[in-house]
């Protein structure tokens, strides 16, 4: 078996263009990555949480940062260009697979922790999102932890509409709208270029209920990658930590 590649779906749901990576990933302040990784390290203390699976890892920003702190990290993403870039920058204790988080059967080994960051959970319908949690359950050891960094649905129900801003020297028009419990985001870069994304958003209680079906116990729901700040509709992003049952 070629473990450098697992099953990849051929649909185009939430495909990120190279322009998106250039505008929103390449321009990130390293301080932000450090703050996010500090949080992960606090919630995944070594040596109990050493083997980490980073799902939807993109170009490996968090995976590499965790590996530099001594974790053994496997990153998985279905974007071939992102995985190629991640591999080019990979160091010791860090490797990357091309694959789909809906099917983790061919990802070798099991893990002490799984992380899904930057609103990369919720692409699918409720049944498929629950199936993703079951896949994760199978890859986590008993007592292992799952960390989600996702959008708070009620925050986006309160803040919809269109805005224009600048990023990386480019003017971008963003249109956010809720349709039921799904958030749709359209980004326009000019000259017909753009990206469109769609997620099922949850409240903390809804995610706790969904995860509970998969035998996950909630440990924490916060915002700002700060354990002292509870998740609330006043903040668009939230971080939730779960423990897998026996």
Question: What CA dihedral angle connects 81, 96, 207 and 44, to 10 degrees?
Answer: -140
Q: Above 60 in pLDDT, residue 11?
A: no
What DSSP designation does 17 have? Answer: P
Mean pLDDT of 72-86: 95
pLDDT digits (tens, 9 = 90+) for 89-136: 888 899 999 999 999 999 999 999 999 999 999 999 999 999 999 999
Mean pLDDT of 46-66: 96
d(CA 63, CA 142): 22
pLDDT digits (tens, 9 = 90+) for 171-188: 999 999 999 999 999 999
Superfamily of domain 18-151+203-244: Vaccinia Virus protein VP39 (3.40.50.150)
Q: Above 50 in pLDDT, residue 49?
A: yes
Task: With both helix axes pointing from N to C terminus, report the angle between 204-213 and 126-139 in degrees, rounded to the nearest 10.
Answer: 60
Q: Above 60 in pLDDT, residue 9?
A: no
pLDDT at 13 (0 to 100): 59
Residues in the chain: 246
Mean pLDDT of the residues in the chain: 92
pLDDT at 81 (0 to 100): 93
**Residue 121 token pair:** 């959970």
d(CA 43, CA 219): 10
Instruction: Return the minimum-mean-pLDDT range out of 8-12, 84-88, 117-121.
Output: 8-12
* Residue 6 pLDDT level (bands cut at 50, 70, 90): very low
* Residue 5 pLDDT level (bands cut at 50, 70, 90): very low
d(CA 220, CA 222): 6
Say if residues 100 and 9 touch (Cβ distance below 8 Å).
Answer: yes
Residues 205-242: b if buried by 16+ CB within 10 A, e if exposed: eebbebbeebbbebebbbbebeeeeebeeeebbbbbbb
d(CA 148, CA 136): 12
* Residue 246 pLDDT level (bands cut at 50, 70, 90): confident
> Where do we find the tokens 């896949």?
135
d(CA 228, CA 76): 30
Q: Per-residue DSSP letters for 149-208?
A: EEEBHHHHHHS-EEEEEEETTEEEEEEEEEETTEEEEEEEEETTEEEEEEEE-B-HHHHH
pLDDT at 98 (0 to 100): 97
Q: Above 70 in pLDDT, residue 43?
A: yes
Residues with Cβ < 8 Å from 55, sequence gap 6 or more?
76, 101, 114, 115, 116, 120, 136
Listed by start position, the domains of the chain span 18-151+203-244
């Amino acid at each position: 078996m070629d473990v450098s590649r697992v099953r990849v779906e051929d649909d185009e749901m939430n495909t990120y263009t190279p322009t998106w990576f250039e505008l929103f990933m390449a321009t990130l302040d390293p301080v932000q990555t450090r703050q996010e990784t500090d949080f992960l390290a606090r919630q995944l203390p070594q040596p109990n949480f050493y083997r980490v699976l980073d799902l939807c890892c993109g170009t490996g920003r968090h995976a590499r940062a965790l590996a530099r702190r001594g974790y053994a990290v496997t990153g998985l993403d279905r974007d071939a260009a992102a995985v190629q870039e991640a591999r080019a920058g990979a160091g010791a204790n860090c490797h990357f697979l091309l694959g789909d988080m809906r099917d983790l059967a061919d990802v070798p080994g099991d893990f002490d922790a799984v992380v899904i960051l930057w609103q990369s959970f919720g692409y699918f319908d409720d049944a498929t999102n629950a199936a993703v949690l079951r896949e994760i359950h199978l890859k986590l050891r008993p007592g292992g932890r799952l960390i989600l960094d996702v959008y708070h649905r009620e925050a986006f129900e309160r803040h919809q509409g269109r805005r224009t801003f600048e990023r990386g020297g480019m003017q971008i028009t963003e249109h956010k709208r809720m349709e039921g419990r799904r958030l749709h985001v359209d980004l326009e870069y000019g000259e017909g270029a753009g990206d469109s994304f769609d997620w099922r958003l949850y409240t903390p209680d809804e995610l706790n209920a969904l995860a509970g079906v998969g035998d996950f116990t909630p440990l924490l729901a916060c915002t700002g990658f700060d354990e002292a700040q509870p998740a609330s509709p006043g903040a668009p992003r939230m971080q939730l930590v779960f423990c897998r049952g026996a």
